[in-house]
Structure 1
């Protein structure tokens, strides 16, 4: 079950030997810290601990992070005092960036350096140093280590589609919590598609006829956004346009090129021809009104507007679209889509936001300030990077977690590294019918995603990842009673036997 074998370097597939950090004996932390050195000793915690801050300086967020570690550790040991010093330093200005941190565990105590995000990630690493089970004498032993860490990529994302199948606020919060534990920091929330749009207050019919579940109220969205902020996860909402708009045009037929009372909410999967009409002004008024409702709920700088899989069939036949093409001197329908995206970008820019779009927004000309998510392989991302646009690599063949497990994850390395801001895995929900199935498709692939996003290539160790750290985290999943796919043992390959090849005397022999 290969997770981290194949890597890209300058656009070429290379089989890379990942033997770095052999001496570090990091047996538990995912993603692997970029510097980790253990000396073989350990610190024993026999009772309750209390965290102190260097110079008595902390923010409210930093205090809450300290309390998380304090409460979890104290819940595992006897209710008596412990002679262990734990000191958090939030005043060190020498760290590389806001997500950087340092940990020093000695026989004297635990010493942590970091501010807000960095301190939070330090605590996630500390929690992963705790054993899954107490020793017989109710003592905790932590390895004595020196860790200096910072992320490889600033964007480390996971997307969930809630339009094909709905997931409750409790499931969304649980997913965000899991993300933050593995240092993922962007939750891409796919809210609308052909099957459903969320129930917007200005457009309540957007939700009508939805066969796949519920919707999120404004108060629920605010609550989830606040929860995500507490876990240092940014939420990027996605409102699909101009394609994947069947739910919208079923609710408001005039938004289509050829309105019909027969429009119905789609109850199957695929790409459908009735999209938003790019030739009607009311289309843009509608979408701007939807965004006006969305923007106050989500503080994210980026808003995702889709842009993928938009058939041009109806636009080619539509008098309004053809009139728009002629008036603007556009070459074809691809340039009409570019006009559509650029117009929506201009509206969002005027409201202090930037756009994300799938790599189809490159067709017909890229909007001036757009960031691109490259899902149809890597070429779209490389093209956007060459045009000096921010890029998130999310190639379908490797990081679409709704696909069957078993493929290796590929690294988004290219000649345009400066503009590759990170990686993202996507969970489309056509066949994610329950929270249990969601977890099954996530794990253990989420571990590999986290490692690709955080740990530099030269600091990865594949055997250590598979043989030491994954078992520790699978045990955690067992304790949490989460469903997951059991990975194939390292070195074993799946083999299909064709029965017709084994006839008569050719039957394989089996020992009794």
Structure 2
């Protein structure tokens, strides 16, 4: 039909669009209204620069019983009004992100109906703040960036150490634990997060429909624990490995989780469990104890995949089955190693999705956005070990920025730049596993525009609650 409006350009792209004719124009008399989600509506009105009202507005936010999950939404645009409806607050938020992009700088939106939903429940990013501190302001900024592109999980890697100590002396190694509590005096680094800081992260995440996944990493990468209590360290404390033959080591990690789990509002907590070489049997025992302990604290346990290389049998025999696994390296536990297993998987493949700023490995200058745009989807792993696109175990993907080079001179602004550079294309693939239909150069320009027009003012919002399950 002549004159029917084409699909608006949104990042990530709208799943379905039915075009009409004509356009909606945001005007001086426009108002945002909602009986169901007044706080969200107030915030959205502030972003648009229009008033909020109880009735009679031309932009309406409404909760509905229909939809494809709590993150789905529907936009109905007529010349007279825009209806944003969704089954839950997260979907409403995503609908407003798309509407902001559609309205752009001129306040015009084509008449039509959009139906949109994510194909993957996990659309994340991981940031290593253990090796290099990131200010609370930068965490807030990153959460806002993720919300703009409908990413929904931020994993914060809260403790770590340099990979090799100076002259082999672990007592001189840079290490840090980033949560500060009077219950563990001396454990936290000087640059660390207080309970008030963490509450601020959780509140900002709620505003942007993001769930924080805290990671406290053990029994390797554990130099901060050993510096705090040398008796729990392997090799008499000259190590970054806990001595799992000493029950006090696992006990300390459990106690740390007990102290900080009340801070964490999301459903999951990550206990690391990667690259431990003291004993395969002790590693299996630690894995199982920590998984059970986190469930006893009300959290779904997560861990880095390591079964292929670290388990006594080279597979998952004897391991707690109720753990969500980040598959980060094919040799440690990739799609071939996971064949026949039932563990829910998150694609964090190092060859494709790791950034180590300024390194000569793992994308030191940022991910290959053009390659990701043309070839990558969440089921794609390196080395030809991809899963089937519809594999029910695959929850989604989580790229990661690791600060391995603890003595390098870059700062948090560089980290943000490296993440921002390809976050749009990653979001596109994690939302629908499809391309945008644009050449990559044009796509990058559209992503920059999307970020510009959806930059939210810091208006408080209540109402979004973290998801209650991994799926």
TM range (shorter): 0.7 to 0.9
What is the aligned counterpart of 2:96 among 123, 126, 141? Answer: 123
Q: Is the 8 A contact 1:372 1:381 kept in 2?
A: no
**Aligned counterpart, 1:320:** none
User: 1-side partners of 2:350 and 2:5: how far apart?
Assistant: 34
Which of 86, 97, 120 lines up with 2:59 in the alignment? 86
Report SS of the residue matched to 2:236.
coil
Deviations 1:168-194 (A, max 9, x none): 111111111111111111110110112
Could you tell me the TM-score, scaled by structure 2's length? 0.79
Matched, 1:42 2:16: no
Q: 1:251: Cα distance to partner?
A: 2.3
Work out whether residues 148 and 454 of structure 2, in 8 Å CA contact, stay in contact via their aligned partners in 1. no
Does residue 233 (structure 1) correspond to residue 214 (structure 2)? The answer is no
Q: Residue in 2 aligned with 1:287? A: 253
Displacement after TM superposition at 1:301 (Å): 2.1
Asked if the contact 1:158/1:186 (under 8 Å) is kept, the reply is yes
Q: Are positions 1:176 and 2:155 aligned together?
A: no
Written as runs of structure 1 = structure 2, the 5 A alignment for 1:31-430 is 31-39=12-20, 41-53=22-34, 57-58=35-36, 62-74=37-49, 85-90=58-63, 92-114=64-86, 115-132=88-105, 134=106, 140-194=107-161, 195-198=175-178, 199-207=180-188, 214-260=191-237, 273-310=239-276, 312=277, 315=278, 333-361=279-307, 363-364=310-311, 365=316, 366-377=319-330, 380-381=334-335, 383-384=337-338, 386-402=340-356, 403=363, 404-405=365-366, 407=368, 408-409=371-372, 410-413=376-379, 414-415=387-388, 417-430=391-404
When the two chains are superposed, the root-mean-square deviation of aligned CA atoms in Å is 2.7
Matched residue SS, 2:202: helix
Q: Deviations over 1:363-409 (max 9, x none)?
A: 42332211110111496245447311111011112211332335223
Alignment correspondent of 2:415: 438
Distance 1:294 1:187, change over 3 A: same
CA distance in 2, matches of 1:32, 1:480: 15
Secondary structure (helix, strand or coil) at the match of 1:444 reads helix
Larger radius of gyration: 1
Runs of 4+ in 1 over 6 A off after TM superposition: 478-481
Change in CA separation of 1:124 and 1:422 when aligned onto 2, cut-off 3 Å = same
In 2, Cα distance between equivalents of 1:51 and 1:86 = 5
Q: How many residues align?
A: 403
d(CA) in 2 for partners of 1:429 and 1:24? 46
SS at match of 2:187: helix
Match of 1:173, SS? helix
CA deviations over 1:22-46 (Å, ceiling 9, x no partner): x984454111111124446322223
SS, match of residue 399 in structure 2: strand
Q: In the aligned structure 1, how far is the partner of 2:235 from the partner of 2:412?
A: 38
